[in-house]
Amino acid sequence: MRLATADGVAFATGEARFRSRPAHTLDLLSRIHLQILIGSVKADAVLDTGGAYLVLDPLIGRRAGLGPPVHSDRLVIRGFVFTGTVHRIPVTIPADVGEPLTFEATAFVPELGAGEPWPLTSYLGWQGCLERIRLAIDPRDERVYFGAAD
């Protein structure tokens, strides 16, 4: 594995496998699912270059013990409207080859009613999340290459 920018700086320092499958039962298209870590808590997240934030399954947010929120927000996610809290958290992409990458992401954690199930998966959105890293995708081998953007 060796990817570099035009000026010779390493583009990617890590590589991991992704899985291609629908994001939820009503989804007809396959999405790119990547394993991430929130602290020591593993999560499956869909790459969503059109979305905002890391939208985190509320159960994962509780397990990870997120700190106090920065503010509250309201988002429309795949046609569903949610209110929730916004946090700044470290996210790690584990590497199969090379080095894992830890970066700070803006995370949205939806607030659900008592007993209300989370109908979606977690999403790695562009704004406040993916825009902070370098990312390349090899669809044939189902590999993602990543590195720090700074």
* Banded pLDDT at 25 (limits 50, 70, 90): low
Residue 25 near residue 89 (C-beta atoms within 8 A): no
Residue 77 makes CB contacts below 8 A (sequence gap 6+) with 51, 55, 110, 120, 123
Average pLDDT over residues 54-78: 92
Residue 147 is predicted with a pLDDT of: 94
Question: What's the whole-number mean pLDDT along residues 90-118?
Answer: 94
Start-end of H helices in the chain? 58-64
pLDDT score of 120: 87
pLDDT score for 119 = 85
Residue type for position 18: F
Mean pLDDT for 91-95 is: 98
pTM of the model: 0.90
pLDDT at 26 over 90: no
pLDDT score recorded for residue 89: 96
Residue 115: pLDDT over 90: no
Query: Which backbone phi and psi does 76 adopt, to 5 degrees?
Result: -100, 120
Residue 91 has pLDDT above 90, yes or no: yes
pLDDT of amino acid 2: 58
State mean pLDDT over 16-36: 85
**Domains of the chain and CATH, by start:** 14-134 (2.40.70.10)
| 120/95 Cα distance (integer angstroms) | 25
